[in-house]
Amino acid sequence: MPGALNHLKVLDFSRVFAGPWAAQMLADFGADVVKVEHVKGGDDVRRMGVPHLGADGNPTGETSSFLAMNRGKRSLALDLSKPEGQDIARHLVAEADVLIENFKTGTLARFGLDYQEVAKLNPRLVYCSITGFGQTGPMKHLPGYDPIFQAMSGLLSMTGIPDDQPGAGPALVGYSISDITAGQYAVSAILAALNHRDAVSGEGQFIDIALLDTQIHAASHMAMNYLSSGRLPRRNGTASQITCPWQAFDCADRPIMIAIGNNAQFARFADYLGLQGLAQDNRYATNLSRVQNADTLIPQIAAKLAGKQADACYAELEAIGIPAGPLNSFDDVFRMEQVQERGLLKEMQHSSAGPIRYVTNPVKFSGLEAGTDMPPPCFAEHTDAVLTGLGLDAEQIAALRDAGIVK
């Protein structure tokens, strides 16, 4: 089946996570994505993450992080600091629908590749800039990485162990949540801008995405809880601050996560635990009262679950319609029949790393394809092909390579 975006050409000038993630999503949806990398070594993420191991257990020269963010793209290595490199970039821009970049604010203007300049070449271009702090404000010039935005957005103020418990303190979310979140906002904004171009204005536009902004916005209901009540959220371990019981409990062998979403579920759960009458107790009859009296409710639940085996408990809760699940590690995740049935884990052939397993795009269309079997590119793998597509011949490409303009 065709991809939804087969008609689009995307230039990915971005590096590391947020921008490449957004460009990869567009590639998964069918867009032709050219990844423009620095001629000296390429994207920094080629040196981040763990070494990807081949079938023989030896490093392949690729890294986990690059492989995670760059499938479906073609790699062009280009020196944007040279006029000849800028000229090639402008020819690519003239044919593109979308440009994604995450240089520090003002960097591409030095090369004549800022939106104001390239829009003169291609008024239909949707130009998406992803930076730490955005294009305005007193911090616009500052760089930043995911943990900075987890900290500054307030996320770490509500993630981790409560102050009155052993090991108290914030805990970093275990993946680059600020980058991935910003990338997802970028995809949505790009698609909205393309729709506006094609259905309304006939022109592209500039999109300003800031990691700090998107991480604050993604806090959503927790930020609104504070704005509504004036009460600051707190670190609460695995427990919800607004719903109870909604946390991990220790069974006899290992933990289980339980999430009670309404009063009817709580009544069935209490009966299952042998705590008859608990759901009728005024202290626990509603979610708000359960949250307010969690200090007396949770120990009663924990004592009952402590004697149960996690797998049996999970099956029994499933049978009575109580949302619950095991605390899986990734080896557990990829053994799950549900995950296998959904086809999330796939394998593709990489030109240097051999067969690589990866998590495919999770979107399921009824009449379109999502995901790609085109592997992440080796550094500068497609330089000749991209330049040939611009009309350059072999002699011209060789001259550019000899001059260090391309790799």
CB 165 within 8 A of CB 86: no
Considering the domain architecture, whether residues 319 and 368 belong to the same structural domain is answered as no
Considering the domain architecture, whether residues 268 and 389 belong to the same structural domain is answered as no
At 375, list the tokens.
């592997």
At 107, list the tokens.
């960097």
What share of residues in the chain are helix, strand, coil (percent, to 5)? 40, 20, 40
At 159, list the tokens.
């993630």
At 354, list the tokens.
């051999």
Where residue 171 falls among pLDDT bands split at 50, 70, 90? very high
**Boundary-marking domain end, from 326, 356, 382:** 326
Residue whose C-alpha is closest to residue 282's, from 263, 300, 302: 263
CA–CA separation, 65 vs 47, rounded Å? 8
- The active-site residue out of 179, 198, 295, 373 is 179
- Domain of 384? 9-218+342-402
In the chain, the number of structural domains is 2
Torsion of CA 150, 152, 153, 154, to 10 degrees: 90
At 207, list the tokens.
């999109």
CA–CA separation, 124 vs 373, rounded Å? 29
Considering the domain architecture, whether residues 371 and 311 belong to the same structural domain is answered as no
Query: What are the helix and strand counts (H, E) for the chain?
Result: 16, 15
Predicted structure pTM score: 0.95
Q: What is the pLDDT of residue 1?
A: 64
What are 8-32's pLDDT values in tens digits? 999 999 999 999 999 999 999 999 9
Considering the domain architecture, whether residues 213 and 349 belong to the same structural domain is answered as yes
What are 339-383's pLDDT values in tens digits? 999 999 999 999 999 999 999 999 999 999 899 989 999 999 999
Considering the domain architecture, whether residues 285 and 166 belong to the same structural domain is answered as no
Residue 97: active-site member: no
